[in-house]
Amino acid sequence: MKTSNKPLGVLQYFYHCKNEELPVRDVTNSRGHGHKTEPHYENLTENWCSKCMPRRIKSANQKSLDYLFLCTHYSKAGHAMDGKLLVVGFLYRAQKEVWQRLSRSIRSGVDPYDDTNPLGCGFFAGDITRSHFVSAEDAYPLKEVRNPRWKWFVPEEQAMHIISHLKKSRNILSKLRNRVAELKAESSQSQNRYEKRKNTRGCTRC
């Protein structure tokens, strides 16, 4: 099949939750960059909850690109993929009705979807039937670079190669969603215990 050098998607970097087997975002702030909300597996969006490298998302929408490729430095001690830069999935552009619905409750403050200017939208929405995520073992390795925020457009030939590689393996989106929910609950419980201990220590006469 003949391909062109025009971009088919963009690469978006996220922080992996350290020592988690699944390549989930850093929900617990294990890397010291804050509790991450993107990529938002819960409703298949990027930059819907909070801003993260918004120029990349804008560029994907301005060029009407179909693919947002998610990549990370995988971080699990002793794992064969530890420390490697991996594309672990992609969001495939959803139909406009999805963007319209999500725009009604957007949290990040970026420009919502507008029928009169769809190219100016500041978040990306994925199609549930065509977006795809895989385990670290099945991810697509990228050539290591000094800075993960390199030029982000993915030409068609490379994009098709990445897509083909990822789609050989089963979609683990449901596993990612479940694990994120578990980590959120665990983190919330830990915070509650911490607050309770702090309040108890602050009480000198009970």
pLDDT, the chain, mean: 90
Alpha-carbon distance of 193 to 187, in angstroms, equals 10
The helix/strand/coil state of 137 is: helix
Number of separate domains in the chain: 1
Range of the domain at 113: 7-202
The helix/strand/coil state of 83 is: coil
Residue 125 in any domain: the answer is yes
Residue 58 in any domain: the answer is yes
The predicted structure's pLDDT at residue 187: 80
Alpha-carbon distance of 131 to 56, in angstroms, equals 18
The predicted structure's pLDDT at residue 51: 92
Residue 1 in any domain: the answer is no
Residue 122 in any domain: the answer is yes
The predicted structure's pLDDT at residue 197: 54
What are the tens digits of pLDDT across the range 136-176?
Answer: 999 999 986 655 555 689 999 999 999 999 999 999 999 99
Residue 162 in any domain: the answer is yes
Respond yes or no on whether the N-terminal peptide bond of residue 39 is cis (omega within 30° of 0). yes
- Check if the beta carbon of residue 125 is closer than 8 Å to that of residue 45: yes
